[in-house]
Copies of this chain bind each other. A is one copy, B any other.
């Protein structure tokens, strides 16, 4: 409530500095309270400049996702038809899983402006600040046995890389199985949570994080060397709505192809978009470290690695590191 009043005051004085003193009078609260509200707004993506004596100036409001725009432009049969938009949540993955457990239909999407506990692979934290990314989870009910679940991970990476190339005009490569990189830096993360009874998949939650309009300042120091955004890579602001609409359509198309024709066409596209193939790599698996050259993926989605001594191994699970050539 108070936060909305503060935003309204700054919006009626565009580009102007307003002192803490004046704000506390207008809002009838202490200057400490004003400062606290400014801090809260900053954490929500409001960009305030602070100057000694002059006070505060609102430089940028956070970009709020226009859900109606997305919905009105959707041309899919099911993807995104049920769209749950949350200003903030701990993890869209957790919310989507609850929806799936309670019978949510295929294509249900949970999207949040901000995640407090966004999760990546291997329990790693996923940096998801407000207003600048697409942090979402999609409920899927694929009609495939559990053995083929990893193919879906690869499918998601293909759909995302194709959509990003089209909308942002940047060249994004897939690192096996599903990391999307630009110039060696991570720009998207995909995490597929599967639930099965015996060999039958009950549901899969596709967790997808896309760093769309983050700038260097949005990243903590520790991530700047290894992470980038579509904006940083393309030099321009990217419409999250446009990207979402395009991705939903691309994903649904490939998902239908996959169910109709199997993995083979997806595999060809994956290989065409991959940066792990024909490249020296190091793979860290539960059983140890393997170094060699990735040659292809097999019909199950496993990575086929040629070892220096001439033998070939199949990797079902592991972390890939590209080695300098």
Which residues on the B side are within 8 Å of A147 (C-beta)? Answer: 146-147, 149-150, 300, 302, 316
Partner of A198, one of B121, B198, B200, B286: B121
- For window 122-146 of A, CB contacts with B under 8 Å fall at 122, 143, 145-146
Is A193's beta carbon under 8 Å from chain B?
A: yes
A224 to chain B, nearest CB (A): 26
Q: Does A153 contact B (CB under 8 A)?
A: yes
Most buried by B among A121, A145, A153, A302: A145
Is the C-beta of A161 less than 8 angstroms from some C-beta in chain B?
no
In the complex, whether A192 has a CB less than 8 A from a CB of chain B is yes
Are the CB atoms of A200 and B145 closer together than 8 Å?
Answer: no
A146 near B197: Cβ-Cβ < 8 Å: no
Interface residues of A in 158-211 (CB under 8 A from B): 177-178, 191-200
Max count, chain B CB within 10 A of own CB: residue among A143, A197, A286: A197
Q: Known contacts A150-B146, A302-B147: does B198 contact A191 (CB below 8 Å)?
A: yes
Given contacts A145-B317, A147-B150, A302-B147, contact A193 B192 (CB under 8 A): no
Q: Which of B191, B198, B286 is A197 in contact with, Cβ under 8 Å? A: B191
Neighbouring B residues of A200 by C-beta, 8 Å:
122, 317
Closest 8 CB pairs of A and B: A145-B316, A145-B317, A194-B196, A199-B317, A150-B199, A147-B147, A192-B198, A146-B149
Q: List 17 A-B contacts (CB under 8 A).
A: A122-B197, A145-B317, A146-B147, A147-B147, A147-B149, A148-B316, A150-B198, A150-B199, A153-B198, A153-B199, A177-B198, A193-B195, A193-B196, A193-B197, A195-B195, A198-B317, A200-B317
Having A149-B196, A196-B196, A200-B317, one finds 17 other A-B pairs with CB under 8 Å, namely A121-B197, A121-B198, A122-B200, A145-B150, A146-B146, A146-B149, A147-B147, A147-B302, A149-B199, A150-B198, A153-B199, A178-B198, A191-B197, A192-B196, A192-B198, A193-B195, A194-B196
